[in-house]
Amino acid sequence: MSVKLKFVLALAGLFVYVLAGLAALWAAIASDLRPDDRSVFERVLRDEAGLAVFLGLLFLLGLGLVVGAFFRLYVLPPARLARETRLIATANPGHRIEAGGPAELSRVVEAVNELADRSQTAQEDVGGQIASARADVEQERNRLAALMSELTLAVLVCSVEGRILLYNGAARQLLGGEERAGGLVGLGRSVFGILDRGLVAHAFERLGHGAEGDGAAPAVHLTATAAGGQLVRVGAAPVLDRDEKLTGLVLTLEDVSRRAEAGARRDALLRSLTEGTRASVGTIRAAVESMLDYPEMDSADRQRFTAIIRDEAVGLSDQVEEAQRESAGYLRSQWRLEDMLGRDLLAALQRSLESELGVEASAEDAGDDLWLKVDSHALVQGVAYLASRLRDDAGIARFSLHLREAGRHARLDLSWAGEQLDEETLRAWAGQPLQRDGGGISATLKDVVERHGGELWCQGDAAARTAYVRLLLPIADTVPAARPEPRPWHTPAQSRPEFYDFDLFRPAEHGAEWDERSLDELAYTVFDTETTGLDPSVDEVVSFGAVRIVNGRLLRQETLDQLVDPGRPISAASVGVHGISAELVQGEPTIEEVLPAFARFCDDTVLVGHNVAFDMRFLELKEERTGVRLTQPVLDTLLLSAVVEPEHEDHSLEAMAARLGVSVIGRHTALGDAILTGEVFLKQVRLLATQGVVTLGDAREAARRTYLARMSDSLYSRA
């Protein structure tokens, strides 16, 4: 019952009580009066009826003022005290109640604030003790996080229900989590959106039988097509609980698309070589047999058959050489060459020459824009081998390293002051294994050069008495994107990345409908948009920002932050709010590309936003153009604020954050507002629980009953 209704009922009750007392008094007096006196009294009342009504209204007004003062002093302050005490106990331990009201309540406020101070101090002490006690576990988790984030092998861990519990950056990159807006990899997401459900079920079946047999389930290796179209080699190993029961899978994924294509090309080459040489060999054989069968053949015929043999042999030789060159390219494609910054390669070469050979080495800076495709270990070994031979055979003790771009290749020069190395010596060295003092690798320098598809030669300047060995190296096809610096609101509160959540091993209640599920167990996508203006019928979206919440955790690494080309001008007022100008969105994808990606990102989650009716209206009007209709339930933090804090009139995002103790950072950017809204929403969930609002259905019904519920019922009835 609202405070206003309580006030009206209290005032009406008191007024009725007074009227009842006056009526009883009149009845008592009238019963003792004689008939003549009673008629006089009634005539006086009729004559002064207007005055009686005026006095009654004046009395009612005075009574209202008295009741209102009583409410302000002894009803509203205790209610506010209860709400703010609950806020301290649940969502914002740092909140303190402002003193006010009568002296008795002020002393209660002081006591509550003192208790809150002691409680916060105790929580911090207990938190410190818990953190200290968990230091070893935390260290192990941080080690896991560091190892997983730096692994080049793509790794996923999923539960028996197919929910992703762990992934690393390599998996996200392989499966297009960043390149394809919206992503496919994320905590709590279904692995069946990445790999075929039948393949994963087959892996579970094989590993499950192995676990039930002798307790040592073997790994399973399969090949599948990922959602992005890549051919992926999947290794599956079991995750067993203490009872040796299969609870999940560890999946390693390797993109073998190029390897498969190279294999197919090799097979085609072999077939063409076989079929192409069969005719030539048959012709040569027929010509030779004819010459042997007819030794008395005249000179002209013999010359004709000899010419046929020569022509077919030359053609056959050309085919074999061409096949050899092409197959060499296939062999090189199997070597694992990785992108490496030229500056880093020079630094590695300089360290190797100085620390392992004991010679002086200098290196010129190659800059930050020269990327190579190399096997760094073999290359360092090869250059160090050359330097060791020059040191031992020619007495060279000082070298210079230079790296420069030259068309589609880069020139790596190992130079020294002295005589030029002759080609025969260089060729002899290049054919020997790269062994130095019992170490090194068994391959030759020639193998390393061929592995990189490059060339090796020596050149000198007689006048300057300097020489160098030059090695051509391949330049990377595309410059690897630098890791973006995290925005201020991206910085996670925890020290480790949030790419795993083993609480997801708990089985979910798949049979429960949306409204019957607890708010704590649902996954959410908190989103916000920036637009060209405020009219959804004519304006367009210019930016999408979204972040996911899984198991009550805001996953700051799993975000969608995308500018959108609106195809129309952006109003100056809007630019003043979000800072997105027409120049920034030029060349960005359109809403027809971004909205389907957003739909994939928020699939199987509850949508959350602040004043979300505004954003949803923009998206609803794009359904026909994009073919995307968002059908999942929606929650609005604006309406939920009216549920948990009905006494406050200001339900703006900043005001809500201030009351709940959430720092406001990155405001008026789509992603910044989405993250801020997500943090506010998590606080609201705690306050909702104190009011008995624990399921999604409870929250939607409570929001619908608020005085702020101005959006359509269809927004809250979607399933």
* CB 649, CB 643: distance < 8 Å: no
**C-beta neighbour count of 660 within 10 angstroms:** 23
**CA 32 – CA 161 distance, rounded (Å):** 88
Q: Strand runs (DSSP E) across 386-493, as ranges?
A: 398-406, 409-417, 433-436, 439-444, 456-461, 466-474
Helix/strand/coil percentages in the chain, nearest 5? 50, 20, 30
At residue 667's C-alpha, the angle toward residues 663 and 671, to 5°, is: 100
Strands 439-444 and 456-461 come out as unpaired
Catalytic position from the list 202, 402, 409, 668: 668
Closest CA relative to residue 654, chosen from 645, 642, 663:
663
DSSP string, 73-114: HHTHHHHHHHHHHHHHHHT-TT--PPP-SSHHHHHHHHHHHH
**CA 232 – CA 224 distance, rounded (Å):** 5
Take residue 359 and report the two structure tokens written for it.
């010679």
- For the chain, give the number of residues: 719
Strand partners, 439: 436
* Integer-rounded Cα radius of gyration of the chain: 40
**CA 412 – CA 386 distance, rounded (Å):** 13
DSSP string, 634-663: EEEHHHHHHHH-TT-S---HHHHHHHHT--
Take residue 52 and report the two structure tokens written for it.
């009686």
* CB 691, CB 708: distance < 8 Å: no
Active-site residue flag, 648: no
**CA 484 – CA 492 distance, rounded (Å):** 15
* CB 469, CB 456: distance < 8 Å: yes
* CB 493, CB 663: distance < 8 Å: no
Closest CA relative to residue 330, chosen from 409, 382, 264, 274:
264
Strand partners, 36: none
Closest CA relative to residue 500, chosen from 174, 54, 271, 165:
165
Q: What is the DSSP letter of 229?
A: S
**CA 574 – CA 603 distance, rounded (Å):** 30
Q: What is the DSSP letter of 420?
A: P
**CA 643 – CA 683 distance, rounded (Å):** 13
**CA 307 – CA 287 distance, rounded (Å):** 10
**CA 365 – CA 347 distance, rounded (Å):** 9
Strands 524-531 and 606-609 come out as parallel
DSSP string, 369-415: S-EEEE-HHHHHHHHHHHHHHHHHHH---EEEEEEEEETTEEEEEEE
The Cα diameter of the chain in Å comes to 173
What residues are labeled active site?
668
